[in-house]
Every structure is written in C-alpha cells, then in structure tokens.
Amino acid sequence: FTSTQEGPLLTLLFSSAQTQHAALARIETFYEAPAEKGGGKYLSWATIRAEGRQICRGYEAFNFPVEIVRRWIGEMRRAEVGEGREQASDATGPWYEPFCNAEERYLLEYLASLGAVDLLTSEASQPDTKPAQPSAPPTYLISSLSSISSTSLPHERLHALYHLSPTYRQFVSSNWSQLSAKARRVIEHDLSLRGYDERVYLDEWQAYL
C-alpha cells in the first residue's frame, strides 16, 4: 500500500482488494461487527476458516480508530500467548508472527514505525515510548482501493471527522434526535442488515448521507 498522513488521519491506498482485505478485515470486524459476528473479540484465522465465516465480504474501503488496533493487538496477545508472558520475540521471530498473515504483519509493523502501536506488550494504551517522528502518530485510519479512491475516500473521511471532532459528533447526534422514531427504526434496520453493530449506527448513518 501507499500511505499519506494528514494530522491525525492516516490514509492507505491498496492496488489489490485481496491484499486490503487480508490486512484489515479482522481488525474491522473487531471494531464494527455485532458481538455475535465477532465484534469486540479476537478471531483467529483458524476460527474463521473452521466456522466458514465471511468477514467484511465485498468491502472496498475500511476505517477505524488506531486505538482499535491497539485493543486488537492486546486481545490477540491474550488469546494466543496468554497473560503474563512479555517476551518480545523468540528464536523464530516476533510473538505475533504465527498469528497474523503477511499483510497484517506489514500493517502492524508500519503502524509501530509511526509510533501508533506498541508490538512489544499486550497493553491497549498508547505506547509510552515512540520512535522519533516528524509529526504526532495518527489516531484514525482509513483505506481504499486506489481505483475507486475518488468516490470512496469522501465517505471514509466522514468517519474520521465523526471520530475526531466532538463538535461534528454533537451535530450528528442532534440531527439524529430530530428524526421520527419510525425513521430511526428504518435506518437502524437497514444498518443491521448491512452487518453493523448498534455502537456505530450514528457514525455509519452520517457517512452514508
């Protein structure tokens, strides 16, 4: 992928849908899927294959806070390595290497190089020690296929705006509250059919407008 950082926003462009999906689908599922579909919990590739799960099927763009990546790393560490084991690597490589595909490893190591995540511990908090950077680490990530970026990135940037701007979130919430109960139910039903958890309904609604 190619990357551009504008303040807190990191934009990744992929030339291949397969590569983008491989790098981001498990993290996106952790972020926005309902609990019964894997939201909020770590799903190993073995579990995904064994259960025949179709995660982020057909996605051409992705978005999530970088904090979600840190939480996902922590859940992976606890699930795959266990509590209380803090060695960074062994003779064969980093602790996370057996549990990630090549695209995920590249993404995580790139985010670590920006100071956005810490791969040496299982903590979900912002890393205390960061490599020297010309700017602060990004706090929100969006991605798209290069071929459709002109149409997909405006939608993804609205997700970033919703996350990064309290004023805009309040504006969205105010407009949502002015809708009739029937209109809200219709929108919520549509978003549930799209596979979104209720936690992200307002964010998704405003980005689709």
pLDDT recorded at residue 162: 95
Smallest Cα–Cα separation from 104: which of 168, 162, 54, 30? Answer: 30
Say if residues 138 and 164 touch (Cβ distance below 8 Å). no
Say if residues 75 and 30 touch (Cβ distance below 8 Å). yes
**Structure-model confidence comparison of residues 10 and 208, the more confident one:** 10
pLDDT recorded at residue 134: 57
Residue 9 backbone phi and psi in degrees, to 5: -100, 125
Q: Tell me: the pLDDT tens digits for 82-109?
A: 865 555 555 567 999 999 999 999 999 9
Report how far residue 201's alpha carbon sits from residue 198's, in angstroms, rounded to the nearest whole number.
Answer: 5
Q: Tell me: the pLDDT tens digits for 118-150?
A: 997 544 444 444 444 557 999 999 999 999 999
Least confident of 21-25, 79-83, 115-119, 205-209: 79-83
Spans of all domains in the chain: 2-148, 165-209
Distances (CA, A) of 17 to 5, 57, 64, 106, 152: 21, 11, 18, 16, 13
